[in-house]
Amino acid sequence: MAQKRKILELQKKREQVFLGGGEKAIEKQAAMGKLTARERIEAILDKNSFHEYDLFVEHVATDFDMDKKILHGDGVIIGTGTVYGAPIAIYAQDFTVAGGSLGLMHARKITKIMDYALKMRMPLIGINDSGGARIQEGVNSLAGYGEIFFRNTLSSGVIPQISVILGPCAGGAVYSPALTDFVFVVDKISKMFITGPEVIKTVLGEDISMEALGGARVHCEITGNAHFFAESEIECFEQIKKLITFIPWNNKRKALAFEAKEPKKSFKIGEIVPEDSKQPYDVRDVVRALVDNSDFFEIQELWAANIVIGFGRMGGETVGFVCNQPLILAGVLDVDSSDKAARFIRYCDAFNIPIITLVDLPGYLPGVDQEHAGVIRHGAKMLYAYSEASVPKLTVILRKAYGGGYIAMNSRHLRADFVFAWPGAEIAVMGPEGAANIIFRKEILESEDPDKMRKQKVKEYKAKFANPYVAASKGYVDSVIEPEETRKLLLHAIEVSKNKDMHTIDRKHGIPPF
């Protein structure tokens, strides 16, 4: 009997905590189109799989009358569960409790679940919805953030770390998501910034809304801080779940294999790339013509769209794609596209995901803007990332591969394992027009009909260099292949690369051009 009473007491205590910041605060949250922290966790995880810890943790602050306040769960929910059977550690800040602000015990809960995630080698999902450092707790809040950042860094490349921004994420708080692998945002709900509109108004006298400063679109289209954009929380959760199917639980595993499927017949690989190298096309159609079920899961779709990155499956196994996108800026490499690709290459390398690189680019983007924005420093990140990566690295040159772009896009010289080129590939120091104008300048100028002479020289140059056979004759390209043979060759290359083993040089770590 006594036991039953105690169980009832426990149930009552639980119910109290489940109320979070109370009905009014929950209604306010709902009016903004936001789910509660607990609803969010339930919606992401497999049904009934969530197990919560530290439900009864309470804050320990005493200043500013804090000792008179009860903050249920101290404004954050932590626990473990599964997504499609994969073990997941998760935390969700509860905005209904003191604005989800981060105090000492709140931070301790987060760092506890982060420690579990790292120890148990399972992915971590962090849902951010918070007014930032709890002002009443002073330096203890700052300490809490520091502890989180340290663990983000320690876990990097060991377990997947996913951040979901579902409300404000302000001040130093933004640096935890920035240290994680994938950041998800939702239109009109997510807000990320270091200094808010009020500070900007005070310091700079400028008026700007929170949305225009650091809304979801800003971070997907301009800053590149976010990787996935959704119209609603539910759409966002579907994206998270899909991502989890593509990645391994930790760096010692491979992503779970699925049943192999053929690409859809509607994607005809031989009919996508126009013969005229100036004509654009959507490289994602080439990817869809190659991957199982034509299912390509693109990452950072809205930012630096001149390069395309994302996951697909080949023969049931996850692969990462890095592709120039001729639809945008002719697929050039620039500051942002180099950053985007380099980080993704490092992700794939850390998590045992083979990389397939599809090449069609005229080189690095010329111009003062790019030079001054640091295209040398940022472009170097790609060279570093590819050179360092030891997962299977496969390259297909679809069409143009000019200059530094040829080298940077996982060339043999950066240790691609297999390099294939389509018959229309043009591998050269630069495009035929530019090249002919430079090396035949004298003949063209001195000719009676310079235009005719230029055309003839361009033709000559094209015939000699703008093809895959010079590179193939040196062994830089392993095979010149028909587009229709590509999937078969890539599947084989993945198969024979399964036991790839690279010697590593004994060093603490390299110094990439971060």
Applying CB under 6 A, the residues found at the interface with ligand HXC are 98-99, 101, 131-135, 142, 145, 168, 170-173, 196
Q: Closest CB to ligand HXC among 195 and 387?
A: 195
The Cα–Cα gap between 106 and 236 comes to: 25
Nearer to ligand HXC, 171 or 312 (CB): 171
Question: Under a CB-based contact definition with an 8 Å cutoff, are residues 497 and 489 in contact?
Answer: no
Q: Considering the complex, state which of residue 171 and residue 403 has its C-beta at the smaller distance from ligand HXC.
A: 171
What stretches of 222-330 adopt beta strand conformation (E)?
228-230, 297-299, 307-314, 317-324
Q: How far is the CB of 123 from ligand HXC (least distance, A)?
A: 24
Cβ atoms within 10 Å of 56's Cβ, excluding its own: 13
What are the residues whose beta carbons fall under 8 Å from the beta carbon of 284, sequence distance 6 or more?
296, 298, 308, 323, 325
Count of residues for the chain?
514
Closest to ligand HXC by CB, 142 vs 480, is 142
Q: Which of 48, 47, 26 is nearest to 37 (CA)?
A: 26
How far is 182 from 178, CA to CA, in rounded Å? 9
- CA distances from residue 9 to 3, 4, 52, 57 in whole angstroms, order as listed: 10, 9, 18, 17
Q: Minimum Å distance from CB 69 to ligand HXC?
A: 8
Minimal distance in Å, beta carbon 73 to ligand HXC?
Answer: 15
Comparison of 101 and 300: residue with beta carbon closer to ligand HXC: 101
- Min. distance of Cβ 510 from ligand HXC in angstroms? 28
Q: Which is nearer to ligand HXC, 139 or 376 (CB)?
A: 139
- Please check whether residue 100 is in contact with residue 25, taking contact to mean a CB–CB distance below 8 angstroms: no
In the complex, what is the shortest distance from the CB of residue 108 to ligand HXC, in angstroms, rounded to a whole number?
16
Nearer to ligand HXC among residue 156 and residue 195 (C-beta): 195
Q: What are phi and psi of 352, to 5 degrees?
A: 60, 40
Closest approach of ligand HXC to the CB of residue 133, in Å:
4
CB of 210 to ligand HXC, least distance (A): 7
